[in-house]
């Protein structure tokens, strides 16, 4: 039986979600290496955070573990996979078969983590028709038809900024529910579409910000 809860994702900080991913990685390592339970202190050490933060992060999702006994490694791992939505396979499409796109496509962890890339699109006639693994690169003109026919849920958008908004809208109109956006623009999409922006320049800016601020700023 499933019951529907109102969206909890709105009130969960993004940093918490990142840490849940880290905890899951740690639990998977522990499951290989060691015993049956793990303390919040041990999860904290592996995740470069504090035991209090671990307990707070997990408390958003219910009650785990027993005082003094720690968490069951396999049980907590299973629950985190449910929470993160990775206890199932996601059908994804890659739009953009350039350098970033090809690096992503070859990324070994995608498949093993349940992200199944069922289609690749590009606008370049020289790329259309090429075979990547089990997939043949299609023209971007086929996005609507293929996203619908293949029941694609997530789209990785690795195209220039000028093309991104249009391609995102067409993916969403055909049924995509989430977009991992590598284009350096802020996409404008309906509120029920989830977008994660990956901007390499923004990541570097976050670093240069941290170094600049911690070293003192000009007044």
Site for a second copy in 6-65 (CB under 8 A): 7-9, 12, 14-15, 17-18, 20-22, 25, 46-48
- Nearest-angstrom CA–CA distance, 100 and 157: 10
Q: Number of C-alpha atoms within 13 angstroms, CB side, residue 123?
A: 9
Rank residues 128 and 154 by Cβ distance to a second copy and give the closer one.
154
Q: Within 10 Å of residue 36's Cβ, how many Cβ atoms? A: 12
Q: Indicate whether 194 belongs to the interface with a second copy (CB under 8 A).
A: yes
Measure the N-to-C terminal CA separation of the chain; round to a whole number of Å: 60
Rank residues 141 and 204 by Cβ distance to a second copy and give the closer one.
204
Q: Indicate whether 124 belongs to the interface with a second copy (CB under 8 A).
A: no
Q: What residues numbered 147-166 form the site for a second copy, per CB under 8 A? A: 153-154
3-state helix, strand, coil in the chain (%, to 5): 45, 15, 35
Rank residues 85 and 133 by Cβ distance to a second copy and give the closer one.
85
Q: Indicate whether 130 belongs to the interface with a second copy (CB under 8 A).
A: no
CB 77, min distance to a second copy, A: 14
Q: Indicate whether 135 belongs to the interface with a second copy (CB under 8 A).
A: no
């Amino acid at each position: 039986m499933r019951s529907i809860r109102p969206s909890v994702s709105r009130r969960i900080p993004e940093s918490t979600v990142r840490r849940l991913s880290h905890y899951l990685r740690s639990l998977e390592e522990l499951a290989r290496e060691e015993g049956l339970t793990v303390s919040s202190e041990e999860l904290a050490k592996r995740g470069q955070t504090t035991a209090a933060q671990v307990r707070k992060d997990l408390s958003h999702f219910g009650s785990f573990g027993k005082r003094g006994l720690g968490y069951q490694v396999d049980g907590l791992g299973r629950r985190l996979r449910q929470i993160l939505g990775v206890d199932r396979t996601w059908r994804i499409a890659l739009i953009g078969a350039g350098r970033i796109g090809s690096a992503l496509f070859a990324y070994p962890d995608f498949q093993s983590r349940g992200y199944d890339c069922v289609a690749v699109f590009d606008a370049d006639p020289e790329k259309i028709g090429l075979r990547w693994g089990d997939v043949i690169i299609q023209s971007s003109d086929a996005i609507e038809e293929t996203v619908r026919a293949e029941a694609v849920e997530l789209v990785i958008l690795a195209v220039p900024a000028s093309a991104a908004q249009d391609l995102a809208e067409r993916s969403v109109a055909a049924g995509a529910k989430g977009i991992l956006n590598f284009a350096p623009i802020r996409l404008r999409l309906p509120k029920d579409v989830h977008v994660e922006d990956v901007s390499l320049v923004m990541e570097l800016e976050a670093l240069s910000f941290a170094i600049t601020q911690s070293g003192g700023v000009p007044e």
